[in-house]
A and B are shown apart, each in its own frame.
Chain A
Amino acid sequence: MNNDELNKKITKHMIEDTDSVTELKEETWNKINQELFPSKNKVKKKSRKKPIFTLVSAAIILFAIVFGVTEPGQAMIQGLKEMFVEEKQQVIEIEGDKEIRDVELETNEELEYIMYVDKSFYKMTKTDTGDRIVPAQELEDRFPDVSMEITRKENVSVEEVIEEIKATIEADGLIINQEEHVDTPIEGFVIKALGPEYTNEHGKTGHQWDTPINRYYVTEPIDNQFFVIKQEYFLEAAEGHGVRLNSMLESFEIVNRE
């Protein structure tokens, strides 16, 4: 028997010898699930006041039985909120100092994405086309806008959308200074533009503290769909809002529930 044969023989034996324990796979998962995600597994108390709940639950169970819905199909029924932890901590580096921030889950069932938002600084509002994150405390009028808008694009190519973005930037009087594929905070294409230089009241020419910055991220398309995330902030806030917006965007995730 040569070495290869012996190796194969030992491996074969070890696999056969340990076959029976794999039957504990599901039982082991159930214990992990209970321990890590208890809120998902809470037994709902029976309530006479809300018979509709029981009916809806029964309908869901019946649907699952009839159509054979199991994992991963169960995720469709679960809803996004149940797939992710509600709160977590995120480390963020602002001007060289590390901060630990508490962030909360925000979901958009229709657009099928999630993101964790630092609610001590920002709030999320719905728009006609998606969601908009703005500072929780409104900024004074003297400050340029700060926001992050998330929209989904369908049945249009990434190239066309990129051209549209560039036309918008030009129409807004901004000048593109970055255009490239990036891996962080998300995988996709980034286009960043700054407002033009000008001479302020002290005679200083160049970019000023309030020079607007627009940064667009275009995600990679999946099934003819992709997202455009537009961030607005200004030069002085680049190390503040600029970093915080990107830090939240890092948690952005399109949920493929198929």
Chain B
Amino acid sequence: MSEREKKLIKKIKKGNQFAFKQLYEAYADYSLRTAFAITRNQSDASDIVQETFIKVYRNIDSYDTSKPFKPWFYQILINETKRYLKKSSNQEMNVEFEHALDYLFYISQEEENGEAKEDLEWGLEQLDELHRTVITLKYLNGFSIKEIAELLELNVNTIKSRLYKGRQSLKKIMGGMKHE
């Protein structure tokens, strides 16, 4: 955690609303992107980010400043996202991860490179909540596998295997395999 962020958190702990706005400015973009990448719904993403920041402000005293802030923050965000997904009917849009990967592999052989972007988008949308969350945290937020495992309270090997399968399929879709 940077010195600036440390000072900001210290100020928020003291009740400084201005510092809280600065924290929002620093984290809002990627929180919205993350929530949207997982839920695929802009309105839900906004609500999730709203609830997350409210929880962060109200529970900031329970945050241990000796630990990095970003994983603490994203754990709240991911929990809020999970809560929203449970509540909403979005769940029914998800298909089994393995089926989605099969489809990704199938279209990778059928489509041309120019259409790969749309395929990737479709492929990501078809992943279930857990796999989309893992891929989002890895590729959008830059978390390490260990951090993702801690954040989601899952085994490191589970995350590794899901990421490996996902990457292999995405690689095929994006036309990479045939050039190797």
Contact = CB atoms under 8 A, between A and B. Distances in A.
A147 to B, nearest CB: 22
A20, A24, A88: most-surrounded residue (chain B CB, <10 A): A24
A10 interface: yes
B33 interface: yes
A80 to B, nearest CB: 10
Interface residues of B, number: 45
A21 B15 contact: no
Contact of A6 (B45, B46, B171): B171
Contacts of A7: 139
Interface string B140-180: 10100000000000000000000000010011001111011
A219 to B, nearest CB: 13
Contacts of A18: 32-34, 36-37, 140
Given A6-B174, A83-B17, A13 B32 contact: no
B18 interface: yes
Contacts, number: 113
B76 interface: no
B100 interface: no
Contact of A29 (B28, B33, B135): B28
Contacts of B174: 1, 6, 9
A237 B153 CA distance: 47
Contact of A1 (B11, B24, B139, B179): B179
Interface in A184-226: none
Contact of B170 (A10, A27, A72, A75): A10
B90 interface: no
Given A1-B174, A1-B176, 5 more contacts: A1-B175, A10-B170, A21-B35, A22-B29, A82-B17
